[in-house]
């Protein structure tokens, strides 16, 4: 039995999923193909994803290929309850309620595993790692996000990975666009929907200058904020300097920032001692996968707080007011709707085609973390350009020859 908030929300969910579909032409083309080929006929697919309108379009695509699909949330706060209701009305078993407890979150993961999936589609590796703890072996899996890929590579290195997994995050048509432009826009969107603050003129601290951090910094700058980047990697730090940002350590940034956003994938990036140094009114948000980047548990232990607006908690810290957004969970999915559909179009096209790849090739694959096959990556880019009506140049035979030769010089 599915476990969702309210079936009464299904019509709203249907309209919103249709709207998102309008922005996802690549996935629509893949769906048309899947409807004809039924390439996933008879397979059970267990998904652990943010339950959004974009995810709905992915799971409906998998279903259209003949699969039975089971879906739980990949974060307790990211579920859109109207989407769950609509998906249940479409024959997808959904186990996800926005705001569910950690215990419920794991019960929902177990409910998906109880269906004995053949393929796992994951975002953050909670479904995969729970399957491993329970000794459940599947044909293969896919992983959507940086944090999940890091966890899976650690499992591979420790020799405990029990089935092949495709790192969808590492496809170029995923991380160059979803992580940068998706996280960039949706993080700002989450902060603004939660607070309605003005960004122009604010000191905006971004911790982490990977693809996601680059996107957040770029968009905050575009709205007139003065961006300060905090990084541990010297090359990325240098890149941030040359991109025109102030770069410093968290200790110095703590005293300067009006808004702090973590996007590192690591823990304790903003520590209690940093928070103690912050200005009255400082705002803290996280857009990394897990809620461990800001020391939220310690904040709760040490200081009183109250909810001042939805997704905004005010902490009183030695007479100063410090605001935490979305409880330190993914602000872009908790107080906004996640990445825009047009960028998820490419991420989920990679997901759908990677699931098909596993269904067709799983017997030949080893217990490893694989890249998305480059043909799939290029195909997704080609389709996206085509749907945007954008033409690109082709190499001439002479140019191909020139590029593969070494004799010709000045």
Binding site for ligand ADE (CB under 6 A): 49-50, 52, 54-55, 182, 333, 338-339, 344
Phi, psi of 175 (to 5 degrees): -70, -25
- Choose between 184 and 257: whose C-beta lies nearer to ligand ADE: 184
Task: For the CB of residue 234, give the shortest distance to ligand ADE in the complex, in Å.
Answer: 29
Dist CA 104 CA 96 (whole Å)? 9
Give the rounded distance of the alpha carbon of 344 from its chain centre. Answer: 9
Task: For the CB of residue 186, give the shortest distance to ligand ADE in the complex, in Å.
Answer: 6
- Choose between 313 and 345: whose C-beta lies nearer to ligand ADE: 345
- Choose between 148 and 338: whose C-beta lies nearer to ligand ADE: 338
On whether the CB atoms of residues 298 and 270 are closer than 8 A, the answer is no
On whether the CB atoms of residues 121 and 40 are closer than 8 A, the answer is no
- Choose between 117 and 182: whose C-beta lies nearer to ligand ADE: 182
- Choose between 12 and 232: whose C-beta lies nearer to ligand ADE: 12
DSSP letters for 322-387: EEEEGGGSBHHHHSS--S-HHHHHHHHHHHHHHHHHHHHHGGG--SSEEEPPHHHHHHHHHHHHHH
Task: For the CB of residue 196, give the shortest distance to ligand ADE in the complex, in Å.
Answer: 22
- Choose between 182 and 257: whose C-beta lies nearer to ligand ADE: 182
Task: For the CB of residue 181, give the shortest distance to ligand ADE in the complex, in Å.
Answer: 11
Task: For the CB of residue 342, give the shortest distance to ligand ADE in the complex, in Å.
Answer: 10
DSSP code of residue 276 = H
Residue 95, number of CB atoms within 10 A of its CB: 28
Instruction: Find the residue with minimal CB distance to ligand ADE.
Output: 338
Task: For the CB of residue 54, give the shortest distance to ligand ADE in the complex, in Å.
Answer: 4
H-only helix segments in 203-285: 211-222, 234-242, 250-256, 272-277
- Choose between 339 and 384: whose C-beta lies nearer to ligand ADE: 339
Provide the greatest CA pair distance for the chain.
72
Q: Classify each residue of 352-373 as buried b or exposed e, where b means 16 or more C-beta atoms within 10 Å of its C-beta.
A: bbbbbbbbeeeeebeeebbebb
Task: For the CB of residue 335, give the shortest distance to ligand ADE in the complex, in Å.
Answer: 13
Dist CA 339 CA 333 (whole Å)? 8
Closest CA to 145 of 384, 351, 360, 381: 351
- Choose between 118 and 178: whose C-beta lies nearer to ligand ADE: 178
Task: For the CB of residue 273, give the shortest distance to ligand ADE in the complex, in Å.
Answer: 31
């Amino acid at each position: 039995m599915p476990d969702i908030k309210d079936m009464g929300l299904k019509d709203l969910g249907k309209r919103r999923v249709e709207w998102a579909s309008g922005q996802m032409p690549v996935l629509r083309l893949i769906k048309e193909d899947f409807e004809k080929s039924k390439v996933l006929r008879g397979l059970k697919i267990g998904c652990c994803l943010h339950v959004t309108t974009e995810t709905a379009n992915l799971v409906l695509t998998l279903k259209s290929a003949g699969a039975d699909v089971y879906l739980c949330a990949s974060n307790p706060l990211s579920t859109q309850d109207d989407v769950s209701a609509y998906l249940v009305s479409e024959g997808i078993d959904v186990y996800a309620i926005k705001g569910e407890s950690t215990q419920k979150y794991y019960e929902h993961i177990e409910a998906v595993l109880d269906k004995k999936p053949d393929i796992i589609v994951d975002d953050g590796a909670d479904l995969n790692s729970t399957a491993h703890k329970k000794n459940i072996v599947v044909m293969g899996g896919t992983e959507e996000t940086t944090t999940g890929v890091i966890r899976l590579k650690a499992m591979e290195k420790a020799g405990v990975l029990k089935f092949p997994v495709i790192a969808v995050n590492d496809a170029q048509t995923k991380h160059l666009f979803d992580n940068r432009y998706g996280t960039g826009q949706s993080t700002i969107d989450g902060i603004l929907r939660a607070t309605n603050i003005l960004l122009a003129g604010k000191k905006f601290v971004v911790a982490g200058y990977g693809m996601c951090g680059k996107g957040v910094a770029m968009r905050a700058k575009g709205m007139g904020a003065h961006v300060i980047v905090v990084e541990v990697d010297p090359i990325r730090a240098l890149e941030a300097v040359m991109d025109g940002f102030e770069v410093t350590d968290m200790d110095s940034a703590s005293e300067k920032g009006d808004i702090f956003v973590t996007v590192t994938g690591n823990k304790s990036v903003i520590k209690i001692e940093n928070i103690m140094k912050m200005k009255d009114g400082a705002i803290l948000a996280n857009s990394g996968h897990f809620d461990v980047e800001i020391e939220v548990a310690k904040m709760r232990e040490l200081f009183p707080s109250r909810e001042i607006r939805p997704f905004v908690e005010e902490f009183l810290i030695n007479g100063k007011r410090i605001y935490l957004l979305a409880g330190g969970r993914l602000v872009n999915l908790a107080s906004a709707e996640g990445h825009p559909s047009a960028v998820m179009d490419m991420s989920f096209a990679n997901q759908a085609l990677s699931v098909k790849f596993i269904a067709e090739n799983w017997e030949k694959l080893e217990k490893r973390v694989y890249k998305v096959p480059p043909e799939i990556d290029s195909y997704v880019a080609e389709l996206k350009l085509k749907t945007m009506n954008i033409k690109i140049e082709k190499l001439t035979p002479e140019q191909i020859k020139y590029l593969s030769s070494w004799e010709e010089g000045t």
